[in-house]
Amino acid sequence: MIKLTSVCKEYAKGGFALRDVSLHVKKGEFVFLTGHSGSGKTTTMRLVHMADRPTSGELRVAGYSSDRVTKRALWKIRRRVGFVFQDCRLLPGRSALENVSFVLEVTGTPRKDVVPRAQRLLTKVGLTPKAGALVHELAGGEQQRVSIARALANSPYALLADEPTGNLDDRATRMVMDLFWDINANGMAVLMATHDLELVRRYPHARVLELDHGRLVYDSAAA
């Protein structure tokens, strides 16, 4: 599913963001990627989403190697791996429904199926009544749920989430986490970067990875 082998990422100005990181996220796993700010969590997420390339080592996502990834392969990977950002990154000036249906249109879903499928996804995240609301009219937790619905639109194999609860209050955090667990229970791998160890402790069954200064220093599966 997601496999990093001796991956290093060096900054253009010198210094390492990741050093010799090897990890393997299997199908159906729920993995927390933890560490302090600057430990390399976001760099790892960007690499997995192919928004960046490793300086050395090999990265494989959904069967594609970062060494030989073409433009066409890049689109395919991004359609197979959903991404949820801390700041949601929804398209402004559009409704929740439009934000989800736009992804379906991007990936060539037949026009007649776009709106029904987008509505089903919003129902899945509990936002049916807010489907027509513009994104700036939604609360933070609601926006994050729209963002999750959007990430699920392509029926991906895995979901990447970079600090998805970082801007949310406790109640919204619980709702979003419940949603991630439901998604994971249906067989989708979830790789979530977070620095919130309190949150991690609430989910003892999840696998935990810890990065420190760009090195993988802890893997609960290996412990």
Partner 1 sequence: MYAIREALTAFRRAPVLMGLASAMVGLALFVVGLFGLATYNLHLALSAIEDRVQIAVYMRDDARQSEITLAQAELGDISEVQAVRFISKRQALERAREELPEFGQLFSNLEVNPLPQSLEVELLPGERNSKVVEKISAAAMEYPFVEDARYGREWVNRLFDLRRIAAASTVAMGSTFALVAALIIGTALRIAIFARREEIYVMRLVGATNGFIRRPFLLEGAIAGLIGGGLAWLMTWATYRAVYAFLLEVAWIPPMWIFAGLASGAVFGAFASTLAIGRHLREV
Contact positions vs partner 1 (CB under 8 A)? 49, 51, 71, 75-79, 83, 89-94, 103, 105-107, 111, 150, 153-154
CA distance 180 to 12: 35
Cβ distance to partner 1 smaller for residue 14 or 108: 108
**Judged by CB, which is closer to partner 1: 33, or 90?**
90
* Cβ closest to partner 1, residue 83 vs residue 180: 83
Burial class (CB in 10 A: 0-12, 13-18, 19+), 55: middle
96, 146 Cβ separation under 8 angstroms: yes
Nearer to partner 1, 75 or 218 (CB): 75
> 216: number of CA atoms within 13 Å, CB side?
21
Q: How far is the CB of 69 from partner 1 (least distance, A)?
A: 13
- What amino acid is encoded at 100 in this protein? V
- CB 87, min distance to partner 1, A: 10
Q: How far is the CB of 160 from partner 1 (least distance, A)?
A: 10
Closest listed residue to residue 189, CA positions, set 156, 149, 154: 156
The least CB distance from residue 43 to partner 1, in Å, is 15
Residues 182/6, Cβ–Cβ less than 8 Å: no
